Structure 1
Amino acid sequence: MSTPIFVLGEALMDCIAQPDGRLLPLMGGSPFNMARAAALRGASVAYLNPLSTDLFGQGMAQLLLRDGVGLQGGPSRLPTSLAVVQVTDGQPSYGFYREGIADRDYTVDGITALLRQQKTPGILHTGSLLLIPPEHTKVVAILKAAREMGWTLSVDINLRPKVAHDLAQYAQALHEVITLTDWLKASDEDLETMGFANVAIGESARLVGELRKGVTPGALSRVALTFGGEGAHLDIEGQSHQLPVPRITVADTVGAGDTFWGNTLADWALQPADAAGRVASTLDLSMKAAAINCTRQGCQPPTRAEILAF
């Protein structure tokens, strides 16, 4: 039986800067993208944050529903948050506008009540902009409550240092979240910004070991590390595998990591048993999904059929 995935995180409009100076609006936000990718792979996915009643929020709700994501957060009268994205040589950089916006219009009690209503605990995923202080205090409280209820906790760090007012405080908040996490995804950029040394795919085993130091017993049983064009490493309870990036023509890399992790979580949700025995095939399919996304502009995760046909 499939395990449900519940997603806590931001939904925002990625306004992509065009060569002529125009901004092309595309729906995005790391957890929003991840939810769509997991649902398109076939998992049961619900989005927990409120969505704005403005035009952007209505469009996001329609896209989530189209891709098979359930809406649990309800509407908000606050506006949708915005990100201005500059893509240079296929790599995106971001500027965020996130004060007084819809996806932060939630309470700890409200989210934990939604989790308690579920018949059986599932997978609770979060990460990215919600981990920035002081917002992370709400997330930590929700993660602690979810852990007590028996939920499996997934985090994609997706660190955004330019948005944080105090980088040291941000890094400390991330370490606090990591100690509570069961399944973690981090990029090479995340690790470098957090202060890890010698960040390279050849150092993956050491980096996973360092991440696991001092965490709650039993936490970080599954860790994925991504290294951009160099490939990715997946460790499940000590069973690990690495793969290079498939050869493709890149349109841009927006949402690649989200698509990768969405497919990884979907694989585990759809087949809860013997995840360690499937570490190589799980990584292979997730890498293919991310590669397909990179052939498209913006985040457009593939379906399961598209991945299998790649």
Structure 2
Amino acid sequence: MTLFTFGETMGLVAADGIGPLTYAKGFSFGIGGAESNVAVGVARLGGEATWLGRVGPDATGALIAERLTAAGVRTLAITDESFTGLMVRHKRSAQFAQVDYHRAGSAGSRLSPADVPPAELTSAGVVHVTGITPALGETARAAVFQSIETANAAGVPVSVDVNYRSKLWNRFDAAPVLRDLVSRADVVFASPEEAALFVDADDLLGALAKLGPSEVIVKDGARGCRAQIDGERHELPVLPVTVVDPVGAGDAFVAGYLADRLTGATPAARLATAIAAGAFAVTVPGDCEGAPTRAELAALTGDDVHR
């Protein structure tokens, strides 16, 4: 029961401290990508996860393969002649973070249908994709839809995180593609704003479910989550934690849900794990560095000091 996912993972340059990038005193360098973040999250929770993607023949591409492998993810990194993409992130204020992408023409954006082996799709417990990859280019979009078609034909559940990125495409171009993506999925994750791009905002859960998925989860930040799973409605609040870095919380949430789904846990248990994983992730800086283990989740509501 393995998670299989694919997409672009990039190098991440993050400014230290808070304030305009102009005055940053130092920077850290890591990796980040929605799909690989989910793979790391599932692996940390004891599941099996495979990530596939293209990386450049450079130090950043090598770092991505090394970091993901070290995190317990089975990594299928295809070396491309183009460069590995980069993102630069800084916190303009305590409340607002800004991310700039340098990925046009990158190795990751050159993903194609031929890169994704059908055997990986048909043998997976869940195939997970996001709405980011279709925005990267025609071949990447074709890879997503062909992979979903293969998984659907084999009866393998497909998970989609809408993950709309306004810096990659505008809402008018994105909406019909994202709607099509969701209509082919079994499990869908979206924020209220993302879902409202292509369904009626009056009843997001019902409207998303009408498109076809049997499991619809709306991630609503500080308001927790709402879900409709096999016709039954659920609602969970967030756990109270001190927020250090909100980036990566959504991916940790998805990882928590899918990790439990792969083990056959009940819908209520999946959502509880998702909420706890997302809460833990925001207490640590970085995209996937804060992905928790099962033991850490169990300790989340316990004492602050563990001796």
- Most deviating of 35-44 and 135-144: 135-144
AA aligned opposite 1:255: G
Instruction: Give 3-state SS (helix, strand or coil) of 1:209's partner.
Output: helix
Mark the CA change 1:117 to 1:83 in structure 2 (over 3 Å): closer, same or farther.
closer
Q: Is 1:39 the equivalent of 2:43?
A: yes
Structure 1, unpaired ranges of 5+: 199-205
**Partner deviation per Cα, 1:143-194 (whole Å, 9 max, x = no partner):** 1122123221111111001221x43111111011111111110012312444
The 2-side partners of 1:189 and 1:16 are apart by 26
The 2-side partners of 1:247 and 1:182 are apart by 30
The 1-side partners of 2:180 and 2:40 are apart by 27
Alignment partner, residue 133 of structure 2 = 130
Alignment partner, residue 218 of structure 2 = 225
**Partner deviation per Cα, 1:234-285 (whole Å, 9 max, x = no partner):** 32202232111111110010100000001111111122xxx5xx22222112
Alignment partner, residue 11 of structure 1 = 9
Out of 233, 237, 262, the residue aligned to residue 244 of structure 1 is 237
**Partner deviation per Cα, 1:25-44 (whole Å, 9 max, x = no partner):** 23111111111001111111
Out of 257, 269, 274, the residue aligned to residue 286 of structure 1 is 274
Q: Could you say which structure has the greater relative contact order, defined with CA pairs below 8 angstroms and 6 or more residues apart?
A: 1
The 1-side partners of 2:52 and 2:33 are apart by 14
Alignment partner, residue 49 of structure 1 = 53
The 1-side partners of 2:219 and 2:126 are apart by 21
Alignment partner, residue 78 of structure 1 = 82
AA aligned opposite 1:298: G
Structure 2, unpaired ranges of 5+: 301-307
Show the 5 A alignment for 1:60-99. Answer: 60-87=64-91, 88-99=93-104
- Most deviating of 66-75 and 252-261: 66-75
AA aligned opposite 2:107: A
Q: What is the alpha-carbon root mean square deviation over aligned residues?
A: 2.1
The 2-side partners of 1:74 and 1:190 are apart by 31
Shift of 1:67: 1.3
Alignment partner, residue 151 of structure 1 = 156
**TM-score normalised over the length of structure 2:** 0.87
Instruction: Give 3-state SS (helix, strand or coil) of 1:32's partner.
Output: helix
AA aligned opposite 1:306: E
The 2-side partners of 1:263 and 1:90 are apart by 25
Alignment partner, residue 208 of structure 2 = 211
The 2-side partners of 1:295 and 1:15 are apart by 19
Query: How many residue pairs were aligned?
Result: 289
State percent identity of aligned pairs.
28
